Structure 1
Amino acid sequence: MKNTFFLLLLFPFILQAQQGANRESFKFNGQSIIGDTKEQVITAIGKPDKVSKDFNEMDDVAVDKFHYGGSILWFERGRLVSWTIKDERVFLVYNDLTIKVGEPAKILEKPFPKAYEGQNSSGRLSVRLQLSSSVITGEEGLIDEFINFYIDPVSLNIEEIILSSY
């Protein structure tokens, strides 16, 4: 029990599942591209500034990375699996809300009240959404997906948006 309490203190945020938030609800630059091939992504949002290669040791798979300014899209097995948004050139759309780096984090309060309420001032500020479609079967088993909105502690603006899976 004591160890569980200690581990909870290490988390810089409080995780709250958000009803209605799923991977299909978020559009990258207004386009539904998660799971798309590299060719489909280029058709939807344009040619990347740079392409690089990496390796995901955890999944033992090659990774292609598309760079759009400071933002990166990750492809595994030819499909888009993750992204990191770090500049204003790239944005997310959730329903009618456009979410950009540099916007006040307060814009997340209305669409994601539970997650917004769970942000914490210890460590890096963030609003974390576990996507409702996150229990999907991957080649290696079940996958959990999250969108993290990292917040600058001084300006309280969104500084980074990450779609990740575990």
Structure 2
Amino acid sequence: MKHTISVLVEDEAGVLTRIAGLFARRGFNIESLAVGPAEQSGISRITMVVPGDDDTIEQLTKQLHKLINVIKVTDITKIPCVERELMLVKVSANSSNRSEVLQIVQIFRAKVVDISDDSLILEVVGDPGKMVAIISMLSKFGIKEIARTGKVALVRESGVNTEYLKSLQVKV
């Protein structure tokens, strides 16, 4: 199972290296990593997606707590969150298929940020599932390049689980 871990750290040189080293020493891969300033000056938020079972992830979070400059570690996998990613994708789009590509762009609420005679660069923002879906739809045209950020996530203060709500809408 993939776990999303949110870590608040002091914004100091070497913090990310120590965290990555902890994962490397234990043979864990970080599938996604996003780092940026948090709401308080001098504090950064690191959001990681890490594969592993619950017990292993619990051990990793305990080890993270022991690192210097780590303030708070939370496994937010099973907590209702807002999750987003940003992706830039360069897709082949010539005069014969451009209108079809643009229809897909509209459906996924993506943006065209560059255009040439034989390609488009699209900006896609959304949850990781949306990224997989649009890549799947665009692959038949030929994807030339992809650049993705890591997942960023914040816990919902409302506690509302939108995945649960989506499942109710499907049943109705």
**Structure 1 length normalisation: TM-score?**
0.26
**Structure 2 length normalisation: TM-score?**
0.26
Structure number with bigger Rg = 2
